Amino acid sequence: MADAREDPTIFTAHSPPSDPRFWATVTNAYLGTRVYQDTLHVNGVYNGALGATHRAILPSPLNVQLEAPVGTGEQLTTTFVLDTNTGSFLHTLEDSRFRASQRIYAHRTLPHLLAFSVSITRLATESGPITVLLQSAFSPESPDLDLHLGPDFQGARYLYGRTLTPEQPGGSQQEVHMLWTPVPPALTLGESEEDRTWEFLTVVGSSQAEARACLEEALQLQARGALYTAHAQAWAQLWEACGLDVVGPLPLRQALRGALYYLLSALPEPGVPGYVCHGLSPGGLSNGSREECYWGHVFWDQDLWMFPNVLMFQPEAARALLQYRIRTLGGALDNARNLGYQGAKFAWESASSGLEVCPEDVYGTQEIHINGAVVLAFQLYYYSTQDLQLFQEAGGWDVVSAVAEFWCSRVEWCPAEGKYHLKGVMPPDEYHSGVNNSVYTNVLVRNSLLFAAALAQDLGQPVPGQWLAVADKIKVPFDLKQNFHPEFDGYEPGEEVKQADVVLLGYPVPFSLNPQVRRNNLEIYEAVTSPQGPAMTWSMFAVGWMELKDPRRAWGLLERSFANITEPFKVWTENADGSGAVNFLTGMGGFLQAVLFGVTGFRITRAGVTFDPMCPAGVSGVCVSGISYQGNKLHFSFSEDLVTVQISTRAPWAPPLEVELWPSQARLPLPLGHTVSFPRSAGRIQRSLL
């Protein structure tokens, strides 16, 4: 779908970004850094107690600047490139005599490895030596780790230590072991050489043995000349397996590619064994040091804003995110107990243990809507995969049932209204605290309880009567006179709100709304939503207008939903003025959903994946490749007139699928490898009933 003159996959600049926060990031599932930053982070390694816990800083040997020697006598052309195809960052210096290129990447198949290479190529016939300089300010020190230099290993330097302060009193101090190739001050291409490449490796592990084993594996690839090739091939296979593109403006296509690239960078390579997920934080693994990007904590951002995209393309990675919630359930149980309630209350800000580490109590005690986002992620995963093992044996049921128990202990019965109330909460709109009956939160309570009850039946578990009673009788505020949902009891139209809140009803939160109420909710809250709010807000307004088939308003809000991108490397900021978290995966997640779920109309339901495509103004077609549903991989594309669906792969255990079209209810089989096309309409992809 790419125009040869418009490649949305490569981001190029001839000068660096004005703000160093906007350099590209290089991350994989275990390690992350920002280009030319002096720190790197290790997934799951935090330092500091309770609300002071944050990602521990490890000094980065990759912070090496490529420079030409002074006095070369010729103007150099400098280029910086983020190549999303190969998951690498390139810095190139070139004149008429030579080209020197530095390539930086977080290895895709060896997640414990960060690497950079420098290549010098002779361009002129003269045969003299060519020298480039490498500027490094590496210092083996950290404010978060007690570090010590150890003996070299296979030519690599060795640094090891422990975090200074555990998250919880009596907790363990985490170990970090790093091996890296020493960097010389200069590299020279000899007189008789036409080109040469040098590679520099950084390996991090949780033990000396792990770090050494990872280095040896990397050195074996290096000896075969396959270190970078293995990484680039893995990225090529990843892009072949999934993608999201439109027939539309280049900035939109670039925004989609950049957002999907940064999100995929944070996920494990499919099929890699032994991966332990430590959650996705708003600023990703490249950020999260003390006083930065929410200190690397995990919020609802993971479950509501990022997870649906991950689930559609990489269900294995989605399962790993759910396993993070399962692994931290003990902390969630303690959080509820500490507040005087039963069941589990997932932390508003979570790190290693799942105990609340939010520095400000008001958010940790009142933003209980996170529980509903966590259960919604489990619900979508269950519908999409039918992975009973996660719920029967791996702890998924424990999470869902514990949240149900929390809700039932947290609500209060109001005899006057004959309804259950949920008092003293903060909704997603953080401008209002201590409110009663947040409509968003209460709808999530109902959704959680109904899913818990249905799941219990599927698993052969008893269904507590209180779950259904609370689901049936919890108050959902509604203003009959103005025909809209007040954000909470006592909300007056015109009050400013911080971010998307009520407009999340319908999507991503399953909730049936008639079109006029949906329209009223959108119009009333769009007018009062703060322009200083976070980046993900406008994407959900865009989804709402797509549901209502208003292409003009949908396009205006879709454009607004990716306005927080910075140039040249498509790094997002949380807020429109450039403040807040950077490389803001939450905003990217919302924006991706606006296209992946909004433009297509995809909804993951118990019966299948429904669709209802529409083209916002300025977009004439969409192509989504690599959608996962119950062991099938699908390609789904549409234009203004036609929809095309193809099953590209099917697991041996996976059921055959079909398309049911609406309103005709015609059913079209989806044979493996065959393309099925039909006039654009709504419908559902489902297990074959034929």
* Number of Cβ atoms within 10 Å of the Cβ of 44: 19
Angle subtended by helix axes 396-410 and 465-473, to nearest 10: 60
Cα 375–318–547 angle (5° rounding)? Answer: 65
Asked whether the beta carbons of 33 and 25 are under 8 A apart, the reply is yes
Asked whether the beta carbons of 134 and 63 are under 8 A apart, the reply is no
Backbone angles phi, psi at 131, to 5 degrees: -120, 135
Strands of the 130-136 sheet, one edge to the other: 64-67, 130-136, 186-189
Strand partners, 566: 571
Asked whether the beta carbons of 568 and 11 are under 8 A apart, the reply is yes
Q: What is the DSSP string of 612-634?
A: -----TT--EEEEEEEEETTEEE
Angle subtended by helix axes 315-327 and 370-385, to nearest 10: 140
Q: Could you give the CA distance from residue 296 to residue 286 in angstroms, rounded to a whole number?
A: 9
Q: Could you give the CA distance from residue 169 to residue 82 in angstroms, rounded to a whole number?
A: 42
* Number of Cβ atoms within 10 Å of the Cβ of 671: 14
Strands of the 58-59 sheet, one edge to the other: 25-27, 31-34, 39-42, 58-59
Catalytic residue among 94, 175, 292, 430: 430
Backbone angles phi, psi at 360, to 5 degrees: -115, 120
Q: Which residues contact 494 (CB under 8 A, 6 or more apart)?
A: 528
Tell me if residue 430 is catalytic.
Answer: yes
Three-class secondary structure of residue 201 per DSSP: strand
Q: Which residues contact 310 (CB under 8 A, 6 or more apart)?
A: 263, 267, 317, 318, 321
CA within 13 Å, CB half, 512: 1
Show the tokens assigned to 384. 């999409």
544, amino acid identity: G
Burial (CB count within 10 angstroms: exposed 0-12, middle 13-18, buried 19+), residue 653 = exposed
Helices (H) and strands (E) in the chain, counts: 17, 32
Backbone angles phi, psi at 232, to 5 degrees: -65, -40
Asked whether the beta carbons of 93 and 132 are under 8 A apart, the reply is yes
State the residue for tokens 């006057």.
Answer: 416
256, amino acid identity: L
Q: Which residues contact 234 (CB under 8 A, 6 or more apart)?
A: 108, 109, 269
* Number of Cβ atoms within 10 Å of the Cβ of 143: 11
Three-class secondary structure of residue 522 per DSSP: helix
Q: Could you give the CA distance from residue 260 to residue 238 in angstroms, rounded to a whole number?
A: 11
Q: Could you give the CA distance from residue 630 to residue 632 in angstroms, rounded to a whole number?
A: 6
Q: Could you give the CA distance from residue 14 to residue 92 in angstroms, rounded to a whole number?
A: 10
Asked whether the beta carbons of 457 and 463 are under 8 A apart, the reply is yes
Q: Could you give the CA distance from residue 593 to residue 562 in angstroms, rounded to a whole number?
A: 12
The catalytic residues are: 430
